[in-house]
């Protein structure tokens, strides 16, 4: 059974998909009203159990983070020791918290980097591999293998290359740079390692997207005398708009969430500041500053919400709203 | 069944290799580039494997470009020092229930969403999908506090709360991953023919039977793909394990590698062996169940 399920926002497929979401709304098969009591209980439980999990462990904490961001609290005392102090945490973050701006800068640099080089390379590789060349399996395997590794492990594997005294890179270059330790270079080292993993991921998503592009489009463009490059940029790339947006959102979210790799290296200090690491430091550090950490969390939440909404608009655009 | 397969594949027809007149191919350039990049991409892993088999004393004298000093000692030492046996057991205890629960919850929820129309249907799907995309760090403070307060029987945790328990870790992983799986499964289930349910209703099959005997068997490929993907993700999960577990004997394997780092000195060859040991399960999954893994990823195309 090798059928790949339809990517929710796959690029427009070739011939009008038979049996797609054609409006055949015959009977009220999907009507909840006509169920008997037992069925209603089953449906209710099917909805309620997962919903409780998501509400309690994701939605509520998200809201609580926003609320706590306006408070001072040590996180240990009772809820009555929460002291609301307005926007002071935010003011402090932007004015007197040294690691904040470096972290923002690193997050933005990571986003720009992931979005240009690994994404560009991933798309390029996908286009090449889409031609079903000889030994495709080999190429795909090598680009894709890093994707199954955890980012924490990626950090360790690259340590073998970056280590000052025992690393491959210094041995090759004849230098003595501490690639993970020196604040002037260590973030770039992290970017390379992260990009190593991100490229394969983007390649894979694009490859799936390309398979959904109607070949007739390409053939027509080539007939009209477009070169292959022109065909890609003028025909294929625009048609893949939904995939492009998904890739954009994934990249934004990945760079916002980036945490594992800097945490295993040095807990996100000394050149490797990232917002996600700052939140964690402020919660689990010696002096846990709950309000402060929550304000940082809220900043992350706001940024991600913007992109989550963009994402939802794309993937749910032609949702029929449950049962057809 | 064949109708279903036809329907699900029709949207993603593989393109046949295009070749025709009027195209300027420079295959050698393309192949050179692909091979070169493949080798660059493989280098860190191959290098890690190579160094993991080498003796530290030997490489420190002769350098890393030398060949020799082959040994298996790094593996046995990494296994011992890293407490990897315990780490693997912990990973198993966390990953297996988390994957099973995630898939169970997601198929239940997706089934109702795709089978019935009701007012909040789309909003619920949006909520679940969004929940999966939020940065976990943004939820840390309240989750941490709730876990501290959550009363738990002593046989689960002597401290009487959810912090530092595998149960807590399983729960948060389930909550996070259910959204993604629901999204993928509901899309998949919406491609099933409605006539099937009509017929089932005529036969008087209950909702539970429709779910268990009709829908679930038909979405098996999607479940298999998600199972593979989720196993890898939860096995790889690092953040929650780091912040919610304090006792190092409870750490999953992904965190255990930290045990191999000395405070002042790190034996790189030992870290290499540890990395290889930890990578093996996911790499095996990758090579054996590659098809499922890939289709799981592309079905959703979402995971951040």
A106-254 in CATH: which number? 1.10.3720.10
Which of A39-43, A44-48, B55-59, B243-247 is the least confident region? Answer: B55-59
CA of B8: which chain A residue's CA is closest? A5
**Residues A147 and A202 sit within 8 Å (Cβ to Cβ):** no
Question: Which pLDDT tens digit goes with each residue over B5-47?
Answer: 333 333 444 444 444 444 455 678 888 889 999 999 999 999 9
Q: What is the pLDDT of residue A198?
A: 94
Q: Model ipTM?
A: 0.83
- Give the number of beta-carbon pairs within 8 Å between A and B: 408
CA of B303: which chain A residue's CA is closest? A250
Would you say residue B162 has pLDDT above 70? yes
**Residues A160 and B44 sit within 8 Å (Cβ to Cβ):** yes
* Calpha distance B9→B275 (Å, rounded): 38
Q: Do B12 and A264 count as a contact with CB atoms less than 8 A apart?
A: no
Please report, rounded to a whole number, the percentage of residues in chain B having pLDDT higher than 90: 43
Domain spans of chain A? 106-254
Q: Do A259 and B137 count as a contact with CB atoms less than 8 A apart?
A: yes
Judged by DSSP in three states, B94 sits in helix
Judged by DSSP in three states, B144 sits in helix
Question: Dihedral of CA A179/A185/A187/A191: which sign?
Answer: negative
Q: Do B12 and A211 count as a contact with CB atoms less than 8 A apart?
A: yes
Torsion of CA A102, A105, A106, A110, to 10 degrees: 180
Strands of chain A, DSSP E: 71-72, 83-84
Please indicate if any CB of chain B lies within 8 Å of the CB of A246. Answer: yes
Interface test with A, best of B11, B51, B52 (most A CBs within 10 A): B11
* Calpha distance B67→B65 (Å, rounded): 7
Please report, rounded to a whole number, the percentage of residues in chain B having pLDDT higher than 70: 88
* Calpha distance A273→B293 (Å, rounded): 32
Please indicate if any CB of chain B lies within 8 Å of the CB of A64. Answer: yes
Q: Do B301 and A9 count as a contact with CB atoms less than 8 A apart?
A: yes
CA of B60: which chain A residue's CA is closest? A166
Set of chain A residues whose Cβ sits within 8 Å of the Cβ of B300: 8
Q: What is the pLDDT of residue B22?
A: 41
- For B30, the closest of A56, A57, A128 (CB atoms) is A128
Would you say residue B296 has pLDDT above 60? yes
Q: Do A50 and B108 count as a contact with CB atoms less than 8 A apart?
A: yes
- For B142, the closest of A43, A53, A65 (CB atoms) is A65
* Calpha distance A107→A44 (Å, rounded): 42
* Calpha distance A202→A197 (Å, rounded): 9
Q: Do A157 and B48 count as a contact with CB atoms less than 8 A apart?
A: yes
Set of chain B residues whose Cβ sits within 8 Å of the Cβ of A48: none
Alpha carbon B83 to its chain's center: 23
Set of chain B residues whose Cβ sits within 8 Å of the Cβ of A190: none
Domains, chain B, ordered by start: 41-300 (1.10.3720.10)
- For B63, the closest of A159, A171, A320 (CB atoms) is A171
Q: What is the pLDDT of residue A28?
A: 56
* Minimal CA separation from A3 to chain B, in Å: 6
Which of A74-78, B164-168, B292-296 is the least confident region? Answer: A74-78
Q: What is the pLDDT of residue A153?
A: 92
Set of chain B residues whose Cβ sits within 8 Å of the Cβ of A146: 41, 44-45
Q: What is the pLDDT of residue B105?
A: 97
Q: Do A42 and B274 count as a contact with CB atoms less than 8 A apart?
A: no
Interface test with A, best of B3, B8, B9, B12 (most A CBs within 10 A): B12
Q: Do B208 and A42 count as a contact with CB atoms less than 8 A apart?
A: yes
Q: What is the CA radius of gyration of chain A?
A: 24
Please indicate, yes or no, whether the overall pTM of this predicted structure exceeds 0.90.
no
* Average pLDDT of adjacent 10-residue blocks, chain A of 324 residues: 38 39 48 83 94 95 93 78 86 90 94 94 91 84 92 92 87 88 93 95 89 84 86 86 84 90 90 92 77 92 90 74 44
What DSSP element (H or E) covers A226?
Answer: none
Q: What is the pLDDT of residue B300?
A: 64
Judged by DSSP in three states, A72 sits in strand
* Calpha distance A284→B35 (Å, rounded): 45
Question: Which pLDDT tens digit goes with each residue over B194-221?
Answer: 888 889 988 888 999 999 999 999 999 8
Set of chain B residues whose Cβ sits within 8 Å of the Cβ of A38: 206
Would you say residue B252 has pLDDT above 50? yes
Please indicate if any CB of chain B lies within 8 Å of the CB of A74. Answer: no
* Minimal CA separation from A130 to chain B, in Å: 8
- Hey, which residues 76-115 in chain A have their CB within 8 Å of chain B? none
Q: What is the pLDDT of residue A287?
A: 66
Question: Which pLDDT tens digit goes with each residue over B67-107?
Answer: 777 888 889 988 998 889 999 999 999 999 999 999 999 99
């Amino acid at each position: 059974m090798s059928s790949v399920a339809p990517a929710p926002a796959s690029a427009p497929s070739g011939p009008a998909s038979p049996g797609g979401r054609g409006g055949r709304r015959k009977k009220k098969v999907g009507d909840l009203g006509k169920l008997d009591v037992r069925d209603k209980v089953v449906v209710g439980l099917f909805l309620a159990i997962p919903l409780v999990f998501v509400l309690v462990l994701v939605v509520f904490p998200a809201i609580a983070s926003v609320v706590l961001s306006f408070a001072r609290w040590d996180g240990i005392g009772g809820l009555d020791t929460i002291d609301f102090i307005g926007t002071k945490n935010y003011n402090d973050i932007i004015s007197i918290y040294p690691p904040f701006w470096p972290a923002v800068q690193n997050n933005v640099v990571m986003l720009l980097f992931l979005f240009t080089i690994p994404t560009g390379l991933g798309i390029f590789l996908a286009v090449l591999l889409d031609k079903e060349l000889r030994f495709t399996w080999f190429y795909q395997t090598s680009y894709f293998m890093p994707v199954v590794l955890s980012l924490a492990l990626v950090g360790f594997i690259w340590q073998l290359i970056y280590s000052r005294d025992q690393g491959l890179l210094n041995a090759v270059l004849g230098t003595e740079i501490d690639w993970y330790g020196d604040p002037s270079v260590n973030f770039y080292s992290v970017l390379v390692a992260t990009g190593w993993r991100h490229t394969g991921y983007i390649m894979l998503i694009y490859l799936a997207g390309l398979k959904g592009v109607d070949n007739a489009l390409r053939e027509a463009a080539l007939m009209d005398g477009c070169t292959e490059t022109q065909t890609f940029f003028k025909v294929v790339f625009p048609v893949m708009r939904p995939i492009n947006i998904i890739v954009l959102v994934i990249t934004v979210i990945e760079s916002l969430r980036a945490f594992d790799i800097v945490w295993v290296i040095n807990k996100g200090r000394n050149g490797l500041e990232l917002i996600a690491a700052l939140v964690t430091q402020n919660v689990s550090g010696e002096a846990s500053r709950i309000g402060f950490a929550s304000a940082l969390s809220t900043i992350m939440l706001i940024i991600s919400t913007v992109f989550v909404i963009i994402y939802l608009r794309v993937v749910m655009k032609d949702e029929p709203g449950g049962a057809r | 069944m064949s109708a279903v397969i036809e329907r699900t594949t029709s949207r993603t027809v593989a393109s046949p290799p295009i070749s025709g007149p009027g195209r300027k191919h420079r295959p050698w350039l393309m192949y050179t580039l692909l091979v070169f990049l493949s080798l660059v991409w493989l280098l860190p892993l191959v290098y890690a494997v190579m160094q993991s088999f080498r003796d530290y004393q030997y490489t420190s004298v002769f350098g890393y470009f030398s060949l020799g000093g082959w040994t298996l000692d790094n593996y046995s030492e990494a296994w011992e020092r890293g407490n990897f046996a315990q780490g693997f057991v912990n990973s198993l205890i966390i990953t297996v229930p988390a994957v099973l629960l995630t898939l169970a919850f997601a198929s239940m929820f997706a089934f109702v969403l795709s089978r019935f129309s009701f007012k909040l249907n789309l909003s619920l799907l949006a909520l679940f999908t969004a929940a999966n995309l939020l940065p976990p760090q943004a939820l840390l403070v309240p989750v941490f506090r709730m876990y501290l307060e959550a009363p738990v029987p002593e046989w689960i945790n002597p401290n009487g709360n959810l912090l530092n328990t595998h149960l807590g870790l399983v729960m948060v992983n389930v909550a996070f991953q259910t959204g993604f799986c629901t999204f993928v499964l509901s899309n998949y289930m919406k491609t099933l023919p409605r006539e099937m349910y009509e017929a089932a209703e005529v036969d008087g099959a209950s909702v539970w039977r429709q779910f268990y005997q009709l829908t679930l068997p038909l979405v098996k490929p999607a479940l298999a793909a998600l199972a593979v993907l989720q196993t890898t993700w939860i096995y790889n999960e690092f953040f929650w394990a780091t912040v919610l577990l304090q006792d190092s004997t409870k750490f999953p394997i992904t965190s255990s590698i930290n045990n191999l780092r000395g405070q002042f000195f790190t034996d790189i060859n030992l870290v290499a062996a540890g990395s290889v040991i930890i990578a093996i399960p996911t790499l095996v999954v990758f090579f054996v169940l590659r098809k499922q893994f890939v289709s799981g990823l592309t079905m959703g195309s979402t995971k951040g």
